[in-house]
Amino acid sequence: MNKSITIPAWLPAVCLLIMSAGVYADNSAGTDWDQLDLAQQQLLQQYRDDWGSMPEQRRRMLATGAERWNDMTPEQRERAQQSLKRWKELSPEQQAKIRRQMQAFRELPLELRQSLRAKYQWYKEQPPERRQALRERWQDLPEEAKEQVRERLRNLSPAQKEQLRQRNNGNGGFSP
């Protein structure tokens, strides 16, 4: 197993975590076993005996996850299974790093999270050869240059960030 984390190896897992982040906030799903619909009960059958003793948050997470799973298309389910498989293949250190990154992402202001999601969507819509060129362009930068880019972005004033957003509007924030 390759120990280095590259964008293609961990990014799907991060996206899956981002998509599931709302699960914790959903209070609409019933969490008593009898409140689950038949499809949820079938999917969660392995938890039935322990359901009543589980913490409420875990029951809510499982119920909402089952509901989301049942609403997925077969293609979405396949992608989710592939992402989970890749996640399980990561080392504990890689998983811990991703969890830290996800926590940092959740702590970002809503506007910035939305902007990052939009940029990722733009990236996903690019042809494979364009995505590869972007990855290579970043990977070819010396680590010092990458850190300088990160530092410059961190130190932008709110006005500068807004100017950058406006300048990059329409291409997902990536320069061609």
From residue 145, give the alpha-carbon distance in Å to each of 137, 138, 139, 161. 12, 10, 11, 20
Average pLDDT of span 101-108: 90
Per residue in 31-85, pLDDT (tens digit) is: 889 999 999 999 999 999 999 999 999 999 999 999 999 999 999 999 999 999 9
Mean pLDDT rounded to a whole number for the chain: 81
Q: What is the pLDDT of residue 26?
A: 44
Confidence of residue 30 (pLDDT cuts 50, 70, 90): low
Q: How far apart, in whole angstroms, are the C-alpha atoms of residue 5 and residue 11?
A: 9
**Residue boundaries of the structural domains of the chain:** 1-107, 110-176
Q: How far apart are CA 136 and CA 30, in angstroms?
A: 47
Give me the residue label for tokens 């938890």: 47
8 against 144, higher pLDDT: 144
Tokens of 101: 């990154």
Query: What does the alpha-carbon distance between residue 137 and residue 73 come to, in Å, rounded to a whole number?
Result: 35
